């Protein structure tokens, strides 16, 4: 789903204008980003949570040349789905 398709779907589902849907989604992502920068976890019960994790500096290899490459330590964004979402995604289909 593209950004435009997501905005259309949210606008239709919430019965708001596309501009309002885009503004709301933008605010949501801004808040998740700023919370992650502060080291906070953002959780939505029944859906999941957004948090950060740290990766250590390491040495990798360039797949084309085989040369060693230093990979810097970084902060990564992580999404963990709730048990409710997992159950909804993994329902058994009746044959």
The domain locations on the chain are 1-40, 51-83
pTM equals: 0.74
- Count of all residues that appear for the chain in the document: 95
Q: Which of 12, 32, 11 is nearest to 20 (CA)?
A: 11
Contact (CB, 8 A) for 57 and 70: yes
- At 35-88, the pLDDT tens digits run 999 999 999 999 999 999 999 999 999 999 999 999 999 999 999 999 999 999
């Amino acid at each position: 789903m593209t950004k435009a398709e997501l905005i259309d779907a949210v606008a239709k589902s919430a019965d708001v204008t596309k501009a309002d849907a885009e503004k709301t989604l933008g605010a949501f992502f801004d808040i998740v980003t700023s919370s992650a920068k502060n080291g906070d976890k953002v959780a939505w019960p029944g859906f999941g949570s957004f948090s950060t994790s740290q990766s250590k500096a390491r040495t990798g290899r360039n797949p084309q040349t085989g040369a060693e490459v230093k990979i810097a330590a970084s902060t990564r964004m992580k999404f963990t789905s709730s048990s409710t979402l997992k159950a909804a995604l993994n329902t058994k289909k009746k044959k």
